[in-house]
Amino acid sequence: MSNDVIVVIGAGGIGVAIARRQGFGKTVLLADFSDTVLSAAADALREASYTVETQIVDVSSRPSVEALARKASSLGSVMQVVNTAGLSPNMAPPERVLAVDLYGSALVFEAFGAVIAEGGAGLIISSMAGHMLPPLTPDQNQALAFTPADQLLELQFLKDTVPDSMVAYMMAKRGNHLRVQAEAIRWGERGARVNSISPGVIATPLARHELNSPIGEVYQAMIAASPAKRMAPPEEIAAAASYLLGSDAGFVTGSDLLIDGGVIAAMFAGKLQTPGQQAA
Amino acid sequence: MGQVVVVIGAGSIGVAIARRISAGKHVLLADLRLHTADAAAKVLADAGFAVSTTTVDISKRESIEALVATATGLGEVTGVIHAAGVSPSQAPPATILHVDLYGTAVILETFGSVIAKGGSAVVIASQSGHRLPALTAEQDALLATTPAEELLALPMLQPDQVTDPLHAYQLSKRANALRVKAEAVRWGKRGARVNTISPGIIMTPLANDELSGPRGEGYRRMIDLSPAGRAGTPDEVGTVGALLMGAEGAFITGSDFLMDGGVTASFFYGELAPKS
């Protein structure tokens, strides 16, 4: 067994699929906001002989994220960091969505950018929602990419242009793409890479919940209008993650990979209305 | 109609391979016990896979033929994952030969008549097949090419020759790889491929039971003294399965892939070698 550590933040369907694919022969440090979710996922991995350490984390809390980074370093060489934590638009008010999905992801990049090993790689699971937002101004792009994490939520344009959770979510996910570009420079100085994946509708317990919720029809319409006409299992995201985290992707950094079965293409082609378009 | 992946034996390894190769295809899960297939199907369906289930008893030709009919009724059979079998601690020698050796031969024969162009199969054998000393060239040829219905009548497979369950298991698993080699020729004529994976100790619910059972100490010794120093995960077999069955494995057919953390290497040339 090597001394290598993979950190997986968010023990949901995608996080666990990536852990299973990447984690054998390494120490998996699995972190989640929910003790119940974390314990169940860790037990399933241990049952399959993975070496798993767990820690509760709140990605919107600086002390909590920094404690997780310290724990990861104490376990060995931090080779891979995968952030799958997030709040979806119908789970929380806009302030919480921005705190977790925008500020939280910036914190994770910052804290783990300080401990990532040479040759290591980071990955954030963003969302196709980041591709739904109309283009931002160059100043807004710069601000989301480079504003120090602790000042991000104070940005005036966020207060002016985010009326609801859906727009907050799209903005946060666009923020992930921009942040990845900025962090690619900093992580690159340590010989590490960082990228994002923007998944579409992935069949996780969360997605099942959303499909059966009042906004379930929106999801159904997306699936029906898309070229693929289906949801994807978490494994398809894990396959792409495996590529982006591995040596085949040594030239890929600061990049975003959209994996959505063509939903964004369908929106672009006018086959599907873009959510929150009027508001944004 | 769409593409169908048939999984025979709905345990951890078969399911791990299916998860890697079945996105956008229909998975037909077949198991001796319907509740095992149904439980695996629920997990796959919750992850967005299209799944249906059926039962199969691979010791019976008519049961396998019914499975082939069900599969072809669902679409084009582009993948077959054969992960069903009985282990040495589960059955007497005759049953092991009937299920693991004869059953596998019938699966390769029948699915080899319907597999789609560009399709592929993997047979899950075992490191045990690599433990057995070399057979003669004539015995190899008999196990590889004797028609399935005549296999169990071979003199080398009679009770006076195969005395204990482990020997029956090792012979069956050796025969699986030989059979795959012979079938690769026939499958190739349809533009399809077939390969064997010979896994070592893979952590499945069954293996967890074995580790805490009466033979647990022997297993733990095997793990501790192997070059990898750990057991394998079903997902690692999934990775090899995905390679062998996918586009990247297009040049690989009739092959047997041993993945055992080096247990076999240690058995022949290392600390696991039997003391003579």
Hey, of A49, A209, A220, A236, which one would you mutate to test binding to chain B, going by the most B CBs within 10 A of its CB? A49
CB contact under 8 A, B48 and A231: yes
Q: Are the CB atoms for A196 and A256 separated by under 8 Å?
A: yes
State whether residue B114 is helix, strand or coil: coil
The answer on pLDDT for B160 being more than 90 is yes
Give A278's pLDDT tier (boundaries 50, 70, 90).
very low
ipTM above 0.95, yes or no: no
> What one-letter code names the amino acid at B84?
A
Catalytic annotation present for B102: no
Q: Mean pLDDT lowest for which of A34-38, A212-216, A257-261?
A: A212-216
Closest chain A residue to B238, measured at CA = A21
CB contact under 8 A, A47 and B229: no
Distance separating alpha carbons of residues B11 and B27, to the nearest angstrom = 14
pTM of structure: 0.83
Catalytic annotation present for B219: no
CB contact under 8 A, B229 and A230: no
Exposure string of B205-241, with b = 16+ CB inside 10 Å and e = fewer, is eebeebbeeeeeeebeebbebbebebbbbbbbbbbbb
What rounded mean pLDDT belongs to chain B? 95
Confidence (pLDDT) at A206: 75
In chain A the first and final C-alpha atoms are separated, in Å, by 50
Q: For residue B234, how many C-alpha atoms fall within 13 Å in the half-sphere facing its CB?
A: 24
Give A277's pLDDT tier (boundaries 50, 70, 90).
low
For residue B194, the tally of other CB atoms under 10 A from its CB is: 31
Please list every residue in chain B whose beta carbon sits closer than 8 Å to the beta carbon of residue A203.
46-48
Please list every residue in chain A whose beta carbon sits closer than 8 Å to the beta carbon of residue B231.
49
Distance separating alpha carbons of residues B66 and B79, to the nearest angstrom = 17
State whether residue A92 is helix, strand or coil: coil
pLDDT in tens, A133-187: 999 999 999 999 999 999 999 999 999 999 999 999 999 999 999 999 999 999 9
pLDDT in tens, B167-182: 999 999 999 999 999 9
- Fill in the DSSP letter of residue A260: S
> Which residues of A does the annotation mark as catalytic?
169, 173
A208 or B221, which is more confident?
Answer: B221
